[in-house]
Structure 1
Amino acid sequence: MDGGKLLKAIIETAIDGILTIDDRGIVESLNPAALKLFGYAAEEVIGNNISMLMPEPDRSGHDGYLHRYQSTGEKRIIGKGREVKGLRKDGTTFPFRLAVSEVHYDHRTIYTGFIHDLSKEKEAEQRLKEHAAELENLVNDRTKSLKELVQALSMAKEEVSISLVKEKELNQLKSRFVSMASHEFRTPLSSIQLSSVLIEKYAAPYDNDNIRKHVSKIKNAVGNLTTILNDFLSLERLEAGNVEPSFQLFDLVKLSEEITEEMQMIAKEEQNIIYQHTGLESMVYLDQNLLKNCMINLISNAIKYSGEHTFIEFNTEITDNQCIVTINDNGIGIPELDQKELFQPFFRANNTGNIPGTGLGLNIVLRYATLMKGFVGFTSTLNKGTKFTLSFNKQN
């Protein structure tokens, strides 16, 4: 292939548009890419002024540009190229980069224009600008929302601070009231308890069932009130963080036997507490007072929720690595739906009826056991009974 044919082939297949004009601005040739860009057939453009492919104001000013270049040698329109707009046959415009070369050919001067379509780049640029604007708006919106959130948090923090101060004042007031009530009520309750014992003693010679019946009611009422006061005082001390376990080595069996004897005195008629210990060891390292409170609380519940002529099994066991306490009754049991809430403060199962109680005992047991790094578990069947288990890892 000779050089002329090769050059023609290159021009014909070029991606960018290529056109030539003479020194008067008349179009002499266009390659297929240029024709496609402008939407014309070759015969519609060749022989016409190049300005037909330009929108205003470039169309009116083109001849002036060309004349200034020819007369002054101004090179602004020649070289790397500049961004201009083209006018299509359908009247639409598009951006392109125009580079012009001056060619001396066959004793005359022609100008070659190289046209690179910028439509896609401009569309991408526009999309980028729009996206950037959207992002900026989004950032502004988020910043505004963040400022509003910070302001709201600041106000909420202030409100919480005020609430905390008020809550602290209320807690202090509650603590003082509970402490005062506990101590002030204990004195008259002790007097009532002592008086009931004396009445029972002085009335013994009369052998009157009604006197014994009412004295027993007084004793029970005093016992219930004392239990309520103890529960509230224990809860208050726990809530205030004033309960710290004091670990010491003590005889578990001796403690359990004393508790069994004590609780048997308040058991119902023909209600027997059967204590049994398993294991050769009897010494444990725990908080004796907290453990005693847990045991008494659980045995008291077993007494309350079991009927007369029943057995309450009270067992302790010391293994190689654990201390285990179980209290098993055959009382009313705990409804299955209530079991998940059982350790919540002030919660009472819906089958307790008129049986007195504060709903605090099991919560206190759980918290005392937790302070001693122990666990509380239970199993219960409605109308068949309940078994509570306290377990503690042995400590040296």
Structure 2
Amino acid sequence: MTHDDAQVELEAVLNTIVDGVIIINDRGVMQLFNPACEKMFGYKPDEVIGKNVKTLMPDPYTTEHDGYIQNYLNTKTRKIIGIGREVRGRRQDGTTFPMHLSVGEAKIATRTIFVGIIHDLTRRQEESEKFENLQQKHFHLSRVSAMNEMGSAIAHELNQPMTATINYLEAGKVMLDQNNALDVEKLKSVMDRAVDQTKRASEIISRMRSFIRTGDLDKKPVELEICLKTAVELALMPFKTVGIKCTYDISRDIPEIYVNSIQIQQVVVNLVKNACEAMLESDTKELHISAKRHDDSAFVEIGVADSGQGIDQEQQEHLFTPFTSSKKDGMGIGLSISESIISNHGGRIWADINEPLGTRFCFTLPISTGDD
């Protein structure tokens, strides 16, 4: 095969390959720009060949690129060369897109060239975003469903402070209507109690709205004890007349954790609700909530233990399988959703036997600085 034949064959390969191929010299100047790159970046070859490859990069890659090449040529320390990684490219119109970049080195006579192979990740990112949006909608519907199931309990919980408020206000009205001298301090005390009850009702409503809201799904620093107790109190609303004793054991050495507090509360509400339902027929009704640093200390471990009838080995194997439930009217998706949420946070969830009675569900969450 002649040199010309080899050149024609190489061009045919480069013209048909679906990934972008760019060849640059040791100064970062582009020498080859295949058709796949034209589609990705929107440039014609004659618009970029002879220019620095930084043309195709947004900040901060623009300022870093030449330094990478010179560092490698001087020290042979690999930061990009021979290592694939995800970066962003900049199109001719200024927009950016995600891509996977692999860079290889080749020696031709006395010259060093670098060959970049580029795979456009735009579609993968779009599919990932669609999946995440659907998943978040699924999580939200699950929270709304949980609130619907607890509707009567919530109504009862709201009715108590509202009734008390009305009674206090009526008492105040009677005091104002009396002909004898008004006891201002007594009236003030009655009004203060009415305000306290109104605040209590407002807090319940605020808790409901926060639990079922959509919107901000970012992870933020959260004080774990407050997060847990808020969720537990919410989940216990329908079971206040059952006689469940709830205790806490939360270590004081747990720092703030970076989580989506709404989703973590969703997991806790589901586990506590399941635990309470498991104890309805039990003589002993004890719920224990714990939180401590996990064995490797990079995680915190949260536990929800009950004194119910427990679960057998077969149930334990399928606990987190969607649409598997031991409850007569259960759909069996609560634990599956909980597993997805914990997995998305970088943790894991499992169930153990709680000696001497019941089941203990545990899940871990990474202790993070928020920079990960």
Q: TM-score category by the smaller chain?
A: 0.3 to 0.5
Report which of the two structures shows the higher radius of gyration computed on alpha carbons: 1
Using structure 2 for the length normalisation, give the TM-score: 0.40
Higher helix share: 1
Using structure 1 for the length normalisation, give the TM-score: 0.38
